[in-house]
Structure 1
């Protein structure tokens, strides 16, 4: 039997810390959301009933609705299951939302795989139409607006994805804030925030827009730091700079260029990792750990380990339980030229941190 990892102090914010097995690892973005896991398994078999029931139970909990629909769309496998659901239940707002999710992903995939401009344009148009239909069925839902914001990553004028572009104050892409001069699809983010202030995916899509479409290399990092500096309704967004830093790391060191380890040992990394830990993670009741985004926990755990805050990292690893996401560990492993699988490195790092 493998030796259990040593627990942190006996109680951590009022609960006993359960030891993790050295070899326990489940690679999945779903984490401990069992209902979501069951729905995903059904979707992969071409069945949508479990997903339908899950989203119906989720209701107007916009945070869960956004995250669960994102993971359902990403993990379903063949997107045709959502088309079938939409055709069989044309008045179901959840079916319309998931079909819009699927078409949005298809449009981005067409661009990513370098399909012809005509194919990408048609895919984008179909996704836009599906988003408009989903918006009409549930006007209060932020998810269709999140999809529209994601579509602005495509090589078209971003305002084409705003249904109200013609009635907005010009210039469409400028924000009336002297601290944020970068132009972008701000009206779409505003629509998201009106429906769900601090929507996690919405702000990450905005970061991705700046990362992929801005002509200024630091735009995504500036955006993430601006969100943290101005304050946010959602403390989960304090992790945004860690994602932006990971993007910078990939640009500078993804091909194995030198200085990779030193990148994570700067005052900037320490500041944002500590800020995210103290002002977000440390304030979350342990009973809510299963509902935290596993990707956020993974990025936070990595940054804390890398900048030497191993005691804080240990608590984050315990919150993750046996689950992990490939990123950022996979890209870090590759950039450092390690021959072993990223999962082996993850288990080694976790074991070392928890001892």
Structure 2
């Protein structure tokens, strides 16, 4: 397809076609496809990602509750019930809804039930990590444990360890921990976030999505500093910015199994490579996305981050520039 004719597609399932089918059924109030999908999910990484996407859609209906009522001994239904409760609690907290505290308590109880029903499953612990960001003052003791290394912060390290024990370097678990850092009522949380992602990536194996984490913190800094308002933006072409992008390309993108690569991670990597002027490197990431994209991080390059059309325009401009670079003489050097 010619670049000028290309229009990206946003879909929460991304390249996961089986998940797309289950989501279609879920939106009509049916749960059989969801059950069958989860029964045939082969690994914890896919299980974590699929249950997260399904819960984001299911949170607006009683479909999962109906499934659990029909099959009360179903482990998958129990885990999904916890997922949905956590999603509702997080949304209520974000919107400062008066029922937020009650939903938080219900979600916590749902996570404990899921952990009991599925003891080898990382998702109940990932869900508890998601709830930890609601405790902004770190009132609960489990949210202020001493860190495992220097330059880190007191936090829910026990919950992260439980998730890690069941699925080492679980992508969502570490992203939830990063969100906890942002929610902390303390000064210097951005520097704490930098220390955390560097610590996480330093021990992660090749192909791990944790090598993309530094790119998320860089986008967050750009957002906080209102980088889009600067006439000459040098935020992305710094030496450490380019280093983070190249490291994610070499240690994650090249080494990871393509079906396991998160669409959101691909977008952050393409964005970072484009921003650091490594256009031909970015081109291969854009091609790996196929027809799909996510509005973040591109939306942060616009003056109105809630404008989907603006995010798409930035994405298309970046994609076009990078694909064109493949046909230009003298590609930018690697190394």
TM over 0.5: yes
- SS of the residue corresponding to residue 341 of structure 1 reads helix
Residue 149 (str. 1) matches residue 118 (str. 2): no
Stretches of structure 2 that go unaligned for 5 or more consecutive residues are: 325-335
Return the alpha-carbon distance in structure 2 between the equivalents of residues 280 and 89 of structure 1: 39
What does 1:76-87 correspond to in 2, within 5 Å? Answer: 76=58, 78-87=60-69
Q: RMSD of the TM alignment (CA)?
A: 2.4
* Pair 46,161 (structure 1): closer, same or farther in 2 beyond 3 Å: farther
Q: Which residue of 1 aligns with 2:217?
A: 244
Q: 1:114 aligns with which of 76, 79, 96?
A: 96
Q: Which residue of 2 aligns with 1:348?
A: 317
Residue 202 (str. 1) matches residue 170 (str. 2): no
* Pair 156,262 (structure 1): closer, same or farther in 2 beyond 3 Å: closer
Aligned residues: 322
Are the counterparts in 2 of residues 198 and 233 from structure 1 also a CA contact under 8 Å?
no
Return the alpha-carbon distance in structure 1 between the equivalents of residues 81 and 305 of structure 2: 39
* Pair 261,339 (structure 1): closer, same or farther in 2 beyond 3 Å: farther
- SS of the residue corresponding to residue 197 of structure 1 reads coil
1:96, distance to aligned residue in structure 2 (A): 0.8
* Pair 176,33 (structure 1): closer, same or farther in 2 beyond 3 Å: closer
Return the alpha-carbon distance in structure 2 between the equivalents of residues 159 and 235 of structure 1: 32
Are the counterparts in 2 of residues 329 and 342 from structure 1 also a CA contact under 8 Å?
yes
Residue 299 (str. 1) matches residue 268 (str. 2): yes
Are the counterparts in 2 of residues 310 and 353 from structure 1 also a CA contact under 8 Å?
yes
Residue 125 (str. 1) matches residue 105 (str. 2): yes
What does 1:168-179 correspond to in 2, within 5 Å? Answer: 173-177=145-149, 179=150
Return the alpha-carbon distance in structure 2 between the equivalents of residues 182 and 260 of structure 1: 34
1:228, distance to aligned residue in structure 2 (A): 2.0
What does 1:205-224 correspond to in 2, within 5 Å? Answer: 205-215=176-186, 216-217=188-189, 218-224=191-197
- SS of the residue corresponding to residue 263 of structure 1 reads coil
* Pair 324,338 (structure 1): closer, same or farther in 2 beyond 3 Å: closer
Q: Which residue of 1 aligns with 2:291?
A: 322
- SS of the residue corresponding to residue 146 of structure 2 reads coil
Are the counterparts in 2 of residues 180 and 226 from structure 1 also a CA contact under 8 Å?
no
Return the alpha-carbon distance in structure 1 between the equivalents of residues 30 and 321 of structure 2: 42
- SS of the residue corresponding to residue 58 of structure 1 reads coil
Residue 263 (str. 1) matches residue 215 (str. 2): no
The normalised TM-score by structure 1 is 0.84
* Pair 232,173 (structure 1): closer, same or farther in 2 beyond 3 Å: farther
- SS of the residue corresponding to residue 283 of structure 1 reads coil
* Pair 45,282 (structure 1): closer, same or farther in 2 beyond 3 Å: same
* Pair 147,269 (structure 1): closer, same or farther in 2 beyond 3 Å: same
Return the alpha-carbon distance in structure 2 between the equivalents of residues 149 and 260 of structure 1: 38
Are the counterparts in 1 of residues 59 and 85 from structure 2 also a CA contact under 8 Å?
no
Are the counterparts in 2 of residues 220 and 244 from structure 1 also a CA contact under 8 Å?
yes
Q: Deviations over 1:142-195 (max 9, x none)?
A: 000000011011136657495xx9xxxxxx610242x33311110000000000
Are the counterparts in 2 of residues 29 and 295 from structure 1 also a CA contact under 8 Å?
no
Q: Highest relative contact order (Cα 8 Å, sep 6+), 1 or 2?
A: 1
Q: Deviations over 1:287-307 (max 9, x none)?
A: x42431000000000000000
1:230, distance to aligned residue in structure 2 (A): 3.8
Q: Which residue of 2 aligns with 1:55?
A: 38
Q: Which residue of 1 aligns with 2:198?
A: 225
Q: 1:277 aligns with which of 249, 257, 269?
A: 249
Q: Deviations over 1:307-327 (max 9, x none)?
A: 011111001011101100110
Return the alpha-carbon distance in structure 1 between the equivalents of residues 304 and 222 of structure 2: 9
Are the counterparts in 1 of residues 299 and 308 from structure 2 also a CA contact under 8 Å?
no
